[in-house]
Structure 1
Amino acid sequence: MMLKKLYKFIILPYTIFLLYLMFFGMGRHQMEYNIIRIKPILSTIYFIEETFSLKDILTIVLGNVLMFIPFGFLGWVFPRLKDLKSLTIDFVSVIIIVEAFQYFSRRGVFDVDDVILNTFGVYLGWQICEFLELRFKSLVV
C-alpha cells in the first residue's frame, strides 16, 4: 500500500479528532476566565514542577509534540508545504489561530509553549517524511 494515499485518507479525520480534543476532549469545559500564557518555555517548566504525576507530564508535554507529527507530512497533500519554511510558516499561522479560538471560547488556554511544542512535532514529522522518502521510495510513491 502506498503511504501517501493512506495519509491523504487519514489526515482530515485525524485533524477533526485533534480539534475535538483541543476544545472538548480530556475533560475540557468552558473556563470562567480567558487565560493567556506568553512566556516561552516557562509555563511548561512550571507545569512540570507543579505536577506530581509523570503520566500527566508525559500526556501534556509529549502529547503536544507527538500529536502534531502527522502534520509534518502535509507536503504529500499540498506540494507547496513540502518546503520546511512554507510548512512552518503556514502551520504556525494556523496553530496561532486555533490557540486564539481556545482563548476566546475559554475552552483552553492560549499558550505560546503549545505553539512551540506543536511546531516541534511538525518539524519531527517533516524529518520523518524526508527520511521515508529517501529510504523507502517505493512505499512512498
Structure 2
Amino acid sequence: MLKKIYQLLIVPYTLFLLYLMFLGMGRFQYEDNLITVEPILSTIKYIQGVRYWRETVTVVLGNIVMFIPFGFLGWVFPKLKDLKPLFIHFVAAITIVEALQYFTRLGIFEVDDIILNTFGVYLGWLLRRLMEKKFSDSVL
C-alpha cells in the first residue's frame, strides 16, 4: 500500500522540489554565475554568518530532509534498491540540477548541497530497508 502511494506522489514531489530549487523561496536570478566548491567549509561559513539558528536549521536540515524520499526510489525502479546504483544515479541527477542552477543563475552550484542531499537519500535508503525488514510486503 505504501509503495503505491509513494509511486503516485514521487513525481509531483520531485516537480515541487525542482520548483523550490529554481523559483521558490524568494529566488531571483543572480547577475553572475556562482559556484561554491569547498566541501563542508562553505556550510560552516554559512552557519557562522547566520543571525538566527532557525535559518540554519531550515537550510542545512532542509537540504537533508527534503531528499529522504529519494532513498525509496527502489520501490519504483528495482535497480535502485542497492545503495551503489542509487548513489550513482542520484549524484549524477543532483549534479545536473546544480549545474542548471549555475547556468540559469537561478541558484548557486554548491558541492555542499550535493553532499547534504545525498546524505538525505542515504537516510531514506536506510529507512526503506528498515521498513522492509520490519513490515511485510502486504503493508508496504
TM-based fold match above 0.5: yes
How many Å apart are 1:136 and its aligned residue? 1.0
Residue of structure 2 in register with 1:48 after alignment? 47
Which position in structure 2 is the counterpart of 1:117? 116
Which residue matches 1:15? 14
| Alignment-derived partner of residue 25 in structure 2 | 26
Q: CA deviation at 1:52?
A: 1.2
User: Unpaired runs of 5+ in structure 2?
Assistant: none
| In structure 1, C-alpha distance between the alignment counterparts of 2:139 and 2:107, rounded to whole Å | 39
Identity of aligned residues (%): 62
Which residue of the partner structure matches residue 103 of structure 1?
102
Q: For the residues of structure 2 that align with 1:81 and 1:21, how far apart are their CA atoms?
A: 25
Moved over 3 A (4+): none
Counterpart CA distance in 2 for 1:139 and 1:73 is: 15
Q: State the alpha-carbon separation in 1 of the partners of residues 110 and 27 from structure 2.
A: 15
SS in structure 2 of the partner of residue 40 of structure 1 = coil
Shift of 1:19: 0.1
Structure 1 CA distance, aligned partners of 2:35 and 2:83? 28
| 1:102-140 Cα distance to aligned partner (Å, 9 max, x none) | 000000000000000000000000000000000012311
Residue 128 of structure 2 is matched in structure 1 by 129
The one-letter code sitting in structure 1 at the alignment partner of 2:128 is C
- Hey, what does 1:139 align to over in structure 2? 139
Partner of 2:56: 57
Unaligned 5+ runs, structure 1: none
What is the identity, as a one-letter code, of the residue corresponding to 1:106? R
3-state SS in 1 of match to 2:86: helix
Q: Kindly state the Cα deviation for residue 55 of structure 1 after the two structures are TM-superposed.
A: 1.2
Does the residue aligned with 1:36 lie in a helix, a strand or coil? strand
Alpha-carbon separation, structure 2, partners of 1:104 and 1:43: 20
Secondary structure of the structure 1 residue equivalent to 2:132: helix
Q: Does the residue aligned with 1:139 lie in a helix, a strand or coil?
A: coil
Give the Cα separation in 1 of the matches to 2:41 and 2:51: 17
CA distance, structure 1, for counterparts of residue 139 and residue 90 of structure 2:
26
Task: Say how many residue pairs are matched.
Answer: 139
SS at match of 2:139: helix
Give TM-score scaled by structure 1 length. 0.98
